[in-house]
Structure 1
């Protein structure tokens, strides 16, 4: 299949591109930066949708960028970065002579963290695993965020490929693992085991709030319990359904 990925230069986009290539698919990325196997958003608007069988939109400003202040201007930028790119892709799809077979939107991924990668996003630098791995290397301990009921879950590019390849998949799929009830303490312990460091030092809530602001810190300190009921019902099989195996794969 020929797959067009909006915002494909980020950590999820790169993992998705790699997986699609491994399965014999062709990938074109829509990005602000031109390059090989890429088109820019301006080119998409002016020239329309290139020939493709599936479109995925991953574009959006990183909501947990610690270098941006949490103010009204940044909040508007976060919203517009998702709405505008979705509108541009939807408009291009609507005007295409041969529209794609699949149209996949990814939203809310910042709530499902940390991502198990330290990749650099050319369009929107940042990644939650960077945050955790840096703490591990500097403190030589897996960071433990306070909050007994915080759930840390992993977005998996395999679910996106499943949605692209399977014609029967429709509606909303939660991109989390079956073991999404893992708490921060359990995640910290598993991460410490994976990197060979003890999970001893807690990350103080005031520090998180000082860096990310009151509203954003809730995403790190509290979280949500999300169950992939429809994802499993659609026939998707997880490569790493358990946290420990996923972490060992990530750090290796």
Structure 2
């Protein structure tokens, strides 16, 4: 199987690359640092510019996961432009490339995020049919999905994956652990906001499952079936680490650090349900937060 990947050096992408190499799949990955990654994984074909690829390439699937980390810096106008370019811009360039191909790829799996839905009270359940929000993160996802839809209109079986917070060795959980290990962790703000998450293994399995089930098209929520409040997550994380988790992070502190817009992603939330995955028969290995954190931190 010939697979083209953008975002293959990111948190999720690296896991997919290693998993698919082990299965004998042929991978071509977009990166800005070809020499660095060529040394790490010489089995992969790396490229940095679209014109390095031939129009006669015959791709079985394209996995589009490119995107800079959303909360690594304050959302200045320059940062917002970078976030848009790394998601919408890359997807638009991908569309231009696909349009030039002599053979249409059979499958596109393109990234998105549950930020699409905006922020909602804890009792509101959101499925793939729910409407988008109006904040910057929501509109970023809307534009990202619209760019992927341009590729779908070329006749390619397309799926947009709205991903929750991915818990694994790295990513968001790695940033949360230090204060919790010191006994200084705790809820963020009120702690009542909903935390929609997914275990790293389930995230990789979801994308691989979608690759093997090209009849599943449209939007997919990649979140565990049991979202929790931020306070519940903090309590469970403290228990697994055998540490107290009472040091609440004030909302004002986050706003000072990240700015009001970006901090809202941590201070507010959305209860996202993976309705389509469940309806289509996908089986989660880690459905509840207790089993997910126990698994991850026992391996730590």
Whether contact under 8 Å (1:192, 1:198) holds in the other structure is yes
TM superposition shift of 1:154: 2.4
TM-score by length of 1: 0.86
Name the CA distance, whole Å, in 1 between partners of 2:261 and 2:45. 35
Count matched residues. Answer: 240
Q: Give the 3-state SS of the residue equivalent to 2:102 in structure 1.
A: coil
Once the two structures are superposed, residues 166-210 of structure 1 have per-residue CA deviations (whole angstroms, 9 ceiling, x without a partner) of 121100000101002x00011111111222222221112122111
Q: Which ranges in structure 1 are unaligned for 5 or more consecutive residues?
A: 120-126
Name the CA distance, whole Å, in 2 between partners of 1:29 and 1:12. 13
Q: 1:76 aligns with which of 69, 81, 98?
A: 81
Q: Which ranges in structure 2 are unaligned for 5 or more consecutive residues?
A: 116-136, 138-162
TM superposition shift of 1:165: 0.9
State the partner residue of 2:6.
6
TM-score by length of 2: 0.73
Q: Give the 3-state SS of the residue equivalent to 1:9 in structure 2.
A: coil
1:1-252 to structure 2, matched below 5 A, reads: 1-34=1-34, 35=38, 36=42, 37-42=44-49, 44-48=50-54, 50-65=57-72, 68-108=73-113, 114-119=165-170, 127-137=171-181, 139-155=182-198, 156-180=203-227, 182-251=228-297, 252=299
Give the strand-richer structure, 1 or 2: 2
TM superposition shift of 1:51: 4.0
Whether contact under 8 Å (2:8, 2:30) holds in the other structure is yes
- CA-based RMSD: 2.2
Greater than 6 Å deviation, 4+ residue runs: none
Name the CA distance, whole Å, in 1 between partners of 2:2 and 2:291. 31
State the partner residue of 1:124.
none
